[in-house]
Structures are given as C-alpha cells and as structure tokens.
Amino acid sequence: MPSNIFFDPVIPAGLIFGMAFVLAGLAVAGYMFFSSGIGRVRKTVLLTIRLVVLLLLVIILMRPMSMEKRTESAQKPVFAILADSSASMNTADVKGKKTRYQAMVSSLFGRNAGFVNKLRQNYDVRFYKFDSDIERTWGNQLSKEKTATGEDTHIAQSLMKAVSTDRKNKTRGMLVISDGRDNAPDSISSVTGAARYLRSMKIPVWTAAVGTSQMTKDVYVTARLSSSFIFVDQPASVHVSVSGSGYENWYAKVNLYREDEFVTTQQAHLRKGHASLIFPIHEEMTGSVRYRVEVEPLAGESDKHNNDRTIIARVIDEQTRVLVVEARPHWDSKFLLRCLRADKNIEVTSIFHINEKKSFAIVEKKAGDGTIDKTVTPGVRMPRTKGELYKYDCIFLGRDIDTVFSSDELRLLKDYLTDRGGSIVFFRGKAYTGRSSEIEAIEPINWAAEQAQDVRFELTTMGRSSPIFDYRPHAVSADVIIQQLPSMASVTRISGEKSLAVVLAKTSSGFGGEEVATVAYQRYGKGKVMSVGAMGLWQWSFLPAEMDQYDDIYQRFWGQMVRWLVTGSDFLPGQDISFLLDKNSYAPGEKVHLSVSTKLIDSDKYEPWIEITDPDGKEVMLVPRQQAADKDLYSTFFSPDVEGEYKAILHNNLGTPATEEMSFTVYQNALETRYVAADRELLEKLSSITGGEQMELDDLTDLPGKVAQFEQLSCEKTRAHDVWDRMGVFALLIGVMGAEWLVRRASGLV
C-alpha cells in the first residue's frame, strides 16, 4: 500500500461522516432495542459486521488516492514545425531583399539552424508545409524549394490536421513560421478556436512572424460582359469591379478602351476598398471586339500590372428563332406577336391550333431592307419531333397546350431544355387545364385555382437587378414605372415555388396581403423556363397620351426577356455547335476546361480540334474527346502558365459554325497575392493562448530552451491514482456482507 495517501471525497467529507454516524446510531438502536429473540453474542456479531460494512463504505466514499510517478513513452514525443508555403510568402520584404519564403528556409536550414538538431535530441521533429491544406514533408526536401505556390492560407485547419496526424505519438509542441496572412472565412475566430483546443491538449505553439506589417497599397480590377454574346445594334454593358488595399474611401479613375481607342471614363469611389461600375456598349458590326478596362495608377501603388483587364465581346447578327403556340388566341398573344415582330433580331413563327385537324402557321422573316416577309405556310406545322423542336431558340406557350400536344410530344419539351439548351416561356399563366405531369415537371411554380383581378406586381431584389427590367435611360426606377403602368387583368395564384425557382416579381393585392410570385424562372438542364402568371399585360402597349414616355416598356419587357433567355443558352442562334469555356479569367497553372456541345450532329463523322495561342504567340493544338456520359459533349483541358490574353479557335469539319473563336485571360487573381501585409497580431494571439511565444527568425536559436522550460513548468511528473478500486477491497466488502447474511439466516432473521 502506498504511503503517500490522501483523500479526494466524491461528496463533502462532513456529509459523509454525518450520514455514517446517523446510520451507525440506527444500527446500534436496532440491534440493542428492537431485535428480541436473538442472543447477545449474535447481536454483537451482527452489529460489528454492520459497522465494518459501514466503515468500508465511508472509506470508499472518501476516495483514498496516492501519487505515482508518470511513466514516459519509450518513443520520443513529436515536435511539429509548420512552414507557410502560400504565395504571399514570395513577397520580398525581408532584410537583404529576401522573400519571406527564402528567409524561412534559411532560418531552418542555414548557418544558424542548430536549434533544429537540439530539438531532435528530445523530440521527433516533423516538418509540414501548409497553405489551404497541410502536407508532411522532410527537411532536405523543404530546403531545396525556392518559392511558395499555395493560393490560400488556412492556419487553423492546418494546425488541427497536424495534431490529428500525430495521434499515435502525442505532439508536445509546435513551431509555426508564417506571415500570418490567413484567407480562411472568419480567420480570427477560427484560429482562436484552434488555439483554445491546443491549450486544452497542453500543446504550446511558438510562432515566428516573417514579413512587414505595413499595408501594401494596390488596386485590382476585374471585368466581364453582361452576357456571353451581344447583338448588333442592341444595348449591352461591361461590368467592372475595382478593389483596393490601402485606399479606403479613395477615388479611382476607370477608363474604357475599344480596340485600344479611348471610349469613356468613370470615377470609382472605393468605399471600404471596393466599387462597382457599369459601362454601356453598343456594336453595329458582327465579329469579335476587344475591350480593355484600365484603372489609372494611384499614389504609392505597389503593383500596376493588375490595373487593367481585357475582355472579348462576340457580336452576332443571327436572328433568334422564336415559336409562339396558341390554342386559344387572346389579346395577350396578339400584342406579344406584334412586339416580337418589331424586333429585327427575332424571326417569329406563330402557330394557331384551331382543332385536332386544323391549324395554321405564320412565319415572319426580316428582309434585308428591314421589311417583314409574312407568310402563311402550310408546310410549317406543330413541332412533333426533336428536329422540328430543336430549330427554335425560344418557345412561347399560351393556354390549353395539353390539347395541342400529346403526352409524348410534351415530354420532348424536357429534352429541348436539357439537351438543346432552349428556353420556354409560359406567357399567360397556367398553360394547361386540370393536370399535366409533363408540364408541371418543368415549371418553376405550382399553380392554384384562385385568381385576383386588376392588380399590379412589384419587383423583388432579384427582379431589380435583372436585365429584363432594365429600363434605362428612363430617369426613374423600374419599380416606379411599373406602378404607373396599367394594372393586369388577372393574376393566377400559386400554391408554391420550386426549390430552384428565382422570383423576379410578386403581387400581394387580391390575396389577403399574401405575396404571390408573378414572374419567376428556373434553370432546367441547359435551358431556362419562365412563367408569367398574369394576363392583360398587352395594356402596357396601349397607353394614354400622358404616358407616352413609357411607350417602349412593353416591347423592351418581352425583347429583353428573349435576349436574356437566349444569351444564357449554350447555343447561339442559328448554330448547332457551341464552343464553351467554364469562365473567362483564370490564374496561372489553373486548368481551363474547354468543351464543345453539339445538337443533331453525326458523332461518327465529327472531328473537332482546338487551336490555342498564348500571349507570346506560341500555338498549341488540342483534340477534345467525346464524353461517355453525354455523346453530344466533347471536352479537353489546358493549363496556362503565362499571364496575359489567350485566343482559342474551334475548327469543325461538320455543322455550323465552321470555326469559332473564344478568348480568355490569365492573371494572378488570388487574395493571397493582393493583400500581403504580415498579420503579426494573429500569430501573437495563437502563441499566447496556447502558452507559447512569438519570436523573430533570428531568435529561434533560443527555442529549445524555451520548449524545455515549458515542459518543466507544465508537464506533470506524477499523477493521482485511486487506491480503493482493487479486487481485495471489493472481496473484503462482499465477504463481510456475506458473513452478515449467513449469521442473520442462522438466527432466523432471513
């Protein structure tokens, strides 16, 4: 039995002894005064046994403990060294114009790096490099690397993974060498949480901050087009985003150039270091047009290479093929057709279903002089096959469509959306009577039966930003204009919106204050489906004289809707081959995904190839491969390593077009390289919470002594151990209680 015994009672000792005295008194009274018929000897034996049991229980409740020496593992504990390998470590702001990464490697493996060998005497020193993730490495490998390549830094995640990696051999300390520039969401709270966890695990973290904390002044610009292509003589826009570090609440001058010729300029107010601008553009000829956005350098700016961006606009004059199908002609369809005919970029085919045996079609094409060639064509019929359906870019469906098409033909609409990438507009509310599972499956909303009369709709937040409701240069907002226009004849109530639906306009009048979606859309496969739950919009084109300033709103509403739907499609109007990029701007080394989508092309004979020209004029040829999961899709990848503008040309041996050109730019866009000021406060917080210390690189020679001091002060040399939880104690307790039971049975008390 250990001699250094102490007690750690599970409940207050006074309470234990108090209950013991009470129970002992009751036991004495019970045997002395209430156990008649038992001899004095047996009473004494039973009372003694009961008191011994009570004493043993008191001892157990008092929890006797002793101190024993802490046994050390035969293996050395782990000491982890985490080296920051993110791109901000390439900043050359260390004395002697070294990069932060070079200074870190020199401190670990240079002349003054003897501290690592000293740590190895007592620890299993393990090296890791980290950015957005952490990777085990070795000293000789790390010492040979000259630059950092990581695009992000997640310090907290790296710390937690380093600990979980070394669960077998407990980590006893860490050294983090970093500039502290963390790009993870909520980086401060994440690092603080990780530090508290490490403190609970008694793992101290020493940090060595590298780099200056001075904020680098820089302005960065990105630009994109309002749509993937633009029409001749139709409005479009260039959207510009300007970000600046060290220039909060400054003004920057932003210039727009077309083919290197100055177009216009705007002032960007960098509120909280950010501003957004829109430049309207207009093209009169087809082809590819190069636009360049430039931010004039600000005072003290460190990097002027990211002040301009180039985008390529594809300008087309192909007419958008629109089909309008009506089973019950109405004023809405009459004025819709008049509106679409007035748009020179739209070729309209309208089909009117009279009965099962009779329908007639009107095809309206624009002549070269702008006049309309309107023909009633017996050869044009309701589209009953994929070939007949797929030639249209956008389809407008009126009422009672389920009486026009069979169930199999309605199911083709799903293929039209998913494979063709077409667009469907239900322009008069619910397009079917009763139920139609085929149409219900693709609609963005679920219809109810009630209707409200004489109501107006209001734009949602998404509606206000939608190009469908962009009515500039009118001086007032679209919301104000819509409230002044005539009300709708009726709006059909809906019972719910689909999970992927985007609501652009709602109405609350006539439904007891309940807001009901009136204009909504959803993406379906490669295409889009739009539902307009109102009738009577034709009145917008029939305005009184005092509202003449808004006589273009009705035509712009439908025209801009068609243009927005079509520009979001994979296929340009009149084309059966589409050349696609997953985005327009990439970082060096990032994979560019180039894909070719086809419709109604003989895949056995189709042999496309892609020619890529880099900013230095070097050409590369790529052959996209047919995808097993989608026979109409071909794709390949390209990894650019030079910053600048790239040109990609698709060459087709079948289909339209024969060639198609795309451009993309390659720039270093990551936050990691835009905001590079060292965050010493973050590293200091990490070390102070865990019990470590922030150090300079030159002072790391003192680290082994500091680690040993922490071990001596914080590590337990002994630990408390229970001395009562042994088999002998329990055997004695059971034996005594068993003896009492035998005596009580022999005395006739059981």
Residue 182 and residue 218: Cα distance in Å, rounded? 18
Q: Looking at residue 718, what is its pLDDT?
A: 56
User: Mean of the pLDDT values across residues 624-630?
Assistant: 86
| pLDDT for res 310 | 84
pLDDT at 72: 53
Strand blocks (E) in 179-217: 205-209
- Domain 218-314 coded CATH 2.60.40.10: yes
Token couple for 12:
């207050």
At residue 295, the pLDDT reads: 93
Closest among 750, 679, 686, 645 to 308, alpha carbons compared: 645
Q: Supply the pLDDT for residue 174.
A: 93
Give the rounded percent of residues in the chain with a pLDDT score beyond 70: 88
Q: Which tokens sit at 196?
A: 């508290």
Q: What average pLDDT does the segment 226-239 reach?
A: 80
* Alpha carbons 211 and 92: distance in angstroms, whole number: 8
> What pLDDT digit, counting tens, does each position of 302-327 carry?
777 778 888 888 887 777 889 898 88
Stretch (H or E) spanning 410:
helix 407-418
Whose tokens are 């990894």? That residue is 639
C-alpha of 589 from chain center = 21
- How confident is residue 555, by pLDDT bands cut at 50, 70 and 90? confident
Give the model's confidence band at 692: pLDDT under 50 very low, under 70 low, under 90 confident, else very high.
very high
Measured distance CA(68)–CA(396) in Å, rounded: 85
Helix (H, G, I), strand (E, B) or coil at 136: strand
By three-state DSSP, how is residue 350 classified? strand
pLDDT of the residue at 85 = 92
Q: Which residues contact 399 (CB under 8 A, 6 or more apart)?
A: 326, 327, 328, 330, 428, 429, 430, 431
Partners of 21 in the β-ladder: none
User: 78-214+676-714 sits in which CATH class?
Assistant: alpha beta
Integer Cα distance of 633 and 161 in angstroms: 40
- Measure the CA–CA gap between 76 and 121, rounded to whole angstroms: 9
What tokens appear for 548 in the block?
């003449």
Per-residue CA distances from 506 to 115, 399, 502, 625, 644 (Å): 69, 21, 11, 45, 45
Judging by beta carbons within 10 Å of its beta carbon (0-12, 13-18, 19+), is residue 79 exposed, middle or buried? buried
Given a cut of 70, whether residue 519 has pLDDT beyond it is yes
Residues 444-472, mean pLDDT to the nearest whole number: 83
* pLDDT above 70 (res 292): yes
Q: Give the CA angle between residues 450, 452, 453 to the nearest 5°.
A: 140
Residue 365 has pLDDT above 80, yes or no: no
> 72, 78 in Cβ contact below 8 A?
no
Neighbour tally for 602: CB within 10 Å:
9
Phi and psi (nearest 5°) for 332? -60, -45
φ, ψ dihedrals at 715, nearest 5°: -75, 140
Q: Do residues 656 and 576 make contact, with C-beta atoms less than 8 angstroms apart?
A: yes
DSSP state of 214: S
Lowest mean pLDDT among 226-230, 550-554, 613-617, 661-665: 226-230
User: What pLDDT is stored for residue 373 in this prediction?
Assistant: 52
- Give the other-Cβ count within 10 Å of 407's Cβ: 10
Domain with CATH 2.60.40.10 in the chain: 218-314, 577-666
Q: What is the number of residues in the chain?
A: 750
- Amino acid 254: pLDDT: 95
Mean pLDDT comparison of 74-78, 212-216, 503-507, 546-550, highest-scoring range: 503-507
Dist CA 498 CA 750 (whole Å): 75
Residue bearing tokens 């008649």: 36
Query: Other CB atoms closer than 10 Å to residue 231's CB: what's the count?
Result: 24
- Given this model, what pLDDT does residue 206 score? 94
Pairing of the two strands 346-355 and 619-622: unpaired
d(CA 362, CA 372): 12
Which pLDDT band holds residue 605 (cuts at 50, 70, 90)?
A: very high
pLDDT score of 379 more than 60? no
- Evaluate whether 266 touches 254 at the Cβ level (below 8 Å): yes
So what's the pLDDT on residue 631?
83
> In the chain, how long is the greatest CA-to-CA distance?
132
Closest CA to 228 of 136, 314, 101, 115: 314
Q: How far apart are CA 341 and CA 326, in angstroms?
A: 16
Both structure tokens of 512: 């007891």
SS3 77: coil
Does residue 128 register a pLDDT over 90? Answer: yes
Q: Each residue of 173-196: pLDDT tens digit?
A: 999 999 888 877 666 778 888 899
Tokens of 92: 């050359």
- What is residue 23's three-state secondary structure? helix
What's the CA gap between 230 and 317, in Å, rounded? 9
Which among 482, 443, 448 is positioned nearest to 466, based on CA atoms? 482
Where does the chain hold its CATH 3.40.50.410 domain(s)? 78-214+676-714
Query: What type of residue is 529?
Result: V
Residue whose pair of structure tokens reads 């086809």 in the numeric block? 598
Residue 721 has pLDDT above 70, yes or no: no
Just give the CATH number of 320-567.
3.40.50.880
**In the beta sheet, which residues pair with residue 721?**
66
User: What single-letter DSSP state applies at residue 167?
Assistant: S
pLDDT attached to residue 537: 85
More confident residue, 369 or 446: 446
- Residue 717's pLDDT band (boundaries 50, 70, 90)? low
Instruction: State the amino acid at position 546 in one-letter form.
Output: E
Query: Which CATH architecture does the domain made up of 577-666 adopt?
Result: Sandwich (2.60)
- Token pair, residue 177, equals 């060498």
pLDDT, position 364: 62
Q: What is the DSSP letter of 389?
A: H
Could you please report the per-residue DSSP string of 277-333? EEEEE--SS-EEEEEEEEEPPPTT-S--TTSEEEEEEEEE-PPEEEEEEESS--HHH
| Backbone conformation region of residue 77, classed left if phi is above 0, alpha if psi is from -120 to 50, else beta | beta
Q: What is the mean pLDDT of the chain?
A: 82
CATH 3.40.50.880 in the chain: give the residue spans.
Answer: 320-567
The mean per-residue pLDDT over the stretch 242-247 comes to: 82
Cis peptide before 2 (omega within 30 of 0): no
User: 10 Å Cβ neighbour count for 6?
Assistant: 12
